[in-house]
Amino acid sequence: MLEGGDNVDSAIIMALARGAEAKMAFCHPFDDVDVVASQGTLGLELLEDIDDLAQVIVPLGGGGLLSGVAIALKLQKPSIRVIGVQISSCAPYIYGEIAPDPVPTLADGIAVKKPGIITRPLVNKWVDEIVAVDENSVADAMMLLMEHSRLFVEGGGAVGVSALLSGRVTPAKTGTTCVVLSGGNVDLGLIPNLIRRHETEAGRRLIVFTRLPDRPGGLARLLTIFANMEANLIEVQHVREGLDFAVRETGVQITVEVRGAEHADLILNAAKAEGYEITAITGR
């Protein structure tokens, strides 16, 4: 099996070359009438399942899924509003064709740099609106889906939820708004970073810095205070260079999990009451 291409566009070029070399048929991932028609069956399923369907939000990369769903919905019920969502760093349907340079994004599954020849006219005709969302809102959407819905959705599939969270799209005033979640191809190495960011944003991660006497038991006494305040220790880093320390002094950066801003304040006040000059770096 031949593998290659660091994005959708380059992978398609390689697949076309391989197909020509081996005399194999190439099935385009989005710019093909049969692909559009088959993906449109999702729209028919939504109509069967949701009686009061009023609005559908669909991720937009090359446009196959969006155009297929839009056509299926509009032909059956023209009043349904269909909205496509792109990632702002790669949104050719909004800003025009993107340069061939790599585009690092959480939504790499929809980072298609130019609209399809077949799909662009279909999107223009059948889709009501296209919006773009940024990376931070996509990260928030991925974590919301994992934490509250137990859904493992890739960035490109979570852009619809991102559009709602960021206010780029508002729910229909009457009837049901449906968000299409497409894809679970998430890089596992990315998950710890998403979790750390989410806990910090939610005020559940407190990072502090303080100076300690560089002698046995100094750090243990401080950690005992945190433990008594029910803070969960995550990490301790000694800082011995870059600051003006006394000869028998060291610095420590401590990361703990807390219940929220009020809990963080209680912990800081408890440490200060014991004589520690402590600084909150984040988490408050």
CATH code, domain with 100: 3.40.50.1100
In a domain? residue 150:
yes
In a domain, 163, yes or no: yes
Residues 177 and 225 in one domain: no
**49 and 97 inside one domain:** yes
Q: For residue 1, is it within any domain?
A: no
The answer to whether residues 18 and 89 belong to one domain is yes
Residue that has been written with the tokens 């006494």 in this structure: 221
Spatial distance between the Cα atoms of 275 and 265, rounded to a whole number of angstroms: 16
Residues 41 and 111 in one domain: yes
Residue 76: inside a domain: yes
User: Do 220 and 151 fall within a single domain?
Assistant: no
| pLDDT mean for each 10 residues of the chain (284 residues) | 64 86 89 95 97 98 97 97 96 88 86 93 98 96 93 95 97 97 87 83 86 84 93 88 73 90 91 87 62
Question: Which of 173, 193, 213 represents a domain boundary (last residue)?
Answer: 193
Per-residue confidence (pLDDT) for residue 7, from 0 to 100: 67
- At which of 138, 164, 193 does a domain end? 193
Instruction: Quote the DSSP letter at residue 99.
Output: P
- Split into its structural domains, the chain has a count of 2
Whether residue 256 lies inside any domain: the answer is: yes
47 part of a folded domain: yes
Helices 64-76 and 41-49: crossing angle in degrees, nearest 10, is 50
| Whether residues 145 and 265 fall in one domain | no
Range of the domain at 227: 203-282
Last residue of a domain, which of 158, 193, 228? 193
d(CA 220, CA 76): 68
Q: How far apart are CA 258 and CA 252, in angstroms?
A: 18
What does the pLDDT read at residue 46? 98
Please report whether residue 17 resides in a domain.
yes
Q: What is the pLDDT of residue 6?
A: 65
Q: Are residues 207 and 189 in the same domain?
A: no
Q: How far apart are CA 109 and CA 60, in angstroms?
A: 10
81 and 168, same structural domain?
yes
pLDDT of res. 275: 87
Q: What is the pLDDT of residue 158?
A: 97
Model pTM greater than 0.85?
no
Residues 209 and 267 in one domain: yes
Q: What's the pLDDT at 283?
A: 53
CATH number at residue 220: 3.30.70.260
> Which pLDDT value is given to residue 284?
47
Residues 217 and 181 in one domain: no
Q: How far apart are CA 229 and CA 61, in angstroms?
A: 48
- Whether 2 is in a domain gets the answer no
> Are residues 233 and 135 located together in one domain of the fold?
no
Strands 53-59, 81-87: parallel, antiparallel or unpaired by DSSP?
parallel
Q: What does the alpha-carbon distance between residue 246 and residue 200 come to, in Å, rounded to a whole number? A: 32
Token pair, residue 195, equals 């979790």
Residue pair 265/249 in contact (Cβ under 8 Å)? The answer is no
User: Which amino acid type is present at position 59?
Assistant: P
The reply to whether 122 and 242 lie within a common domain is: no
